[in-house]
Chain A
Amino acid sequence: MIPQEFEYSAPGTLQEALQLIAGGERKVLAGGMSLIPMMKLRLAAPEHVVDLGRVPGLNYITESGGTIRIGATTTHHEIEMAPLVRGRCPLLAEAASRIGDIQVRNRGTIGGSIAHADPAADYPASLLALEGQVRLVSANSDRTVAASDFFLDPFTTAIEPGEIVSEIVLPAEEGSEGYRYEKLAHPASGFAVVGVAARIKKTGGKISFARIGVTGMAAHAFRALNAEKLLEGGATIDEAVATIGEGEEANSDLYASADYRQHLARVHARRAISVALTRAT
């Protein structure tokens, strides 16, 4: 109900923020949609909170040379509504629109979501299917990590101490590609029991390119590489999705056992691919 006491800083520049974070046990606060509930339940009790909310230049959506860049504090709602994302990276807009509810989307940020790395979060599936990259900066470093190397375990990412996510880098889409984010929302939490993001390109009526990201099913989101290969190799959708989750240990909870969850991932993959296929031109 009530968070523990903490010290609060709201740096006015990125450099200042990075300096603060470099200074030891500091917790970054973005939209607060994951951090604050945990602090209220006293599952998190940071001593010092560094609010990114007032750092200018972290909230943007740009495109140049076929590359879309989204600043870390860009909110889910901004992403969902942005004409640029809707036009050039519609898969991400679709995923953003399925996150939580409007109040959560108004505050929650893409940087916060991927940094938090909830295994049932929505973005990771799309980020993987889009072969996106995550830019990580610290007071004295600046590096870019592929999404496929970013999500490591539940609530665990490639972010090193002192680093923050500064932007997400995605390829802009040319327009012929079909896409779909298919989500089964948990009836209570709204998070993804499973969520499947699919991108499909067709050549001569056949699937020539497939990218499939799966979230909710396992410890972290993953790309269904075998299924992608099978689809590109001319296999049926059913044959391809039957490989999804092989080798992954499926999550299990009151709502869905591991078997059922794996099955759901396949069903939703089939649906995502089918819709993506009809959208592809």
Chain B
Amino acid sequence: MKQKISITINGKLRSDEVEPRLLLIHYLREVVGLTGPHIGCETSTCGACTVMLDGKAIKSCTIFAIQASGREVLTIEGLAVNGHLDPLQEAFWNEHALQCGFCTPGMILTAKQLLQDNPSPTEEEIRKGLEGNICRCTGYQHIVNAVKSAAAKAGA
């Protein structure tokens, strides 16, 4: 039986009737029509689907859309403000922190919380902070550089 949900997505409130079993990732992709959050696994282990729920990074494949009702979801599409890229997006670009780009939206949003919790992380802290996100392309080194450089910019 479908139930009504209302979620603020990237600053805009919307309401839909959904099956309780509809996963947030499918809601965002199939109902809302977003393409930023990706699906890379079904065991909650890859992080490609990461979005922010009330300001915290979560795996949108491991939460039902109905659980997010009444809350705020931020996806990569909503990260740039007035067309200005977030410093992390800018840093990922400058440091060549992506290749195929599939992991990138999730990686950036996880890094976002990492920097919220710890504005000047060490290399080790960055690596540990990103352990829930798999990247098969980059070997992570440029991602580490990107997070460091975004942190340095914010601190400067």
B113, A102: Cβ atoms closer than 8 Å: yes
Nearest-neighbour CB distance to chain A for B135, whole angstroms, equals: 14
B20, A37: Cβ atoms closer than 8 Å: no
Could you say which residues of chain B place their CB within 8 Å of the CB of A131?
A: none
A32-B67, A36-B62 are known contacts. Are A102 and B129 too (CB-CB below 8 A)?
A: yes
Could you say which residues of chain A place their CB within 8 Å of the CB of B59?
A: 103-104, 107
Nearest-neighbour CB distance to chain B for A26, whole angstroms, equals: 14
Once bound together, how far apart are the Cα atoms of A101 and B63, in whole Å? 16
Segment of A5-13, A149-157, A163-171, A242-250 engaged in the interface with chain B = A5-13
- 8 contacts across the A-B interface (CB closer than 8 A): A1-B42, A5-B21, A36-B23, A39-B21, A40-B61, A100-B132, A102-B57, A102-B114
A32-B67, A104-B59 are known contacts. Are A6 and B21 too (CB-CB below 8 A)?
A: yes
Once bound together, how far apart are the Cα atoms of A8 and B113, in whole Å? 30
Residues of B within 8 A of A (CB): 1, 3, 19-21, 23, 26, 42-45, 47, 50, 53, 56-59, 61-64, 66-67, 110, 113-114, 117, 129, 131-133
Could you say which residues of chain A place their CB within 8 Å of the CB of B129?
A: 102
A7-B1, A33-B44, A107-B62 are known contacts. Are A2 and B21 too (CB-CB below 8 A)?
A: yes
A102-B113, A104-B59, A190-B131 are known contacts. Are A8 and B42 too (CB-CB below 8 A)?
A: no
B20, A8: Cβ atoms closer than 8 Å: yes
Nearest-neighbour CB distance to chain B for A72, whole angstroms, equals: 16
| Residue from A3, A36, A101 within 8 A of B132 (CB atoms) | A101
Residues of A within 8 A of B (CB): 1-8, 10, 29, 32-33, 36-37, 39-41, 49, 51, 53, 77, 81, 100-104, 106-107, 188-190
Could you say which residues of chain B place their CB within 8 Å of the CB of A37?
A: 42-44, 62
Nearest-neighbour CB distance to chain A for B52, whole angstroms, equals: 9
Once bound together, how far apart are the Cα atoms of A219 and B129, in whole Å? 30
A36-B64, A104-B132 are known contacts. Are A77 and B56 too (CB-CB below 8 A)?
A: yes
Once bound together, how far apart are the Cα atoms of A7 and B26, in whole Å? 18
Once bound together, how far apart are the Cα atoms of A41 and B47, in whole Å? 17
A107, B21: Cβ atoms closer than 8 Å: no
A33, B67: Cβ atoms closer than 8 Å: no
B20, A107: Cβ atoms closer than 8 Å: no
Given A7-B1, A102-B117, A103-B132: 19 more A-B contacts, CB < 8 Å: A4-B21, A5-B21, A6-B20, A6-B21, A33-B62, A36-B23, A36-B63, A37-B43, A39-B21, A41-B42, A41-B43, A49-B20, A100-B132, A101-B131, A101-B132, A103-B59, A104-B59, A107-B58, A107-B62
Once bound together, how far apart are the Cα atoms of A49 and B21, in whole Å? 10
Could you say which residues of chain A place their CB within 8 Å of the CB of B21?
A: 2-6, 39
Nearest-neighbour CB distance to chain A for B4, whole angstroms, equals: 12
Nearest-neighbour CB distance to chain A for B108, whole angstroms, equals: 13
Closest to A98 in B: B128
Could you say which residues of chain B place their CB within 8 Å of the CB of A7?
A: 1, 20
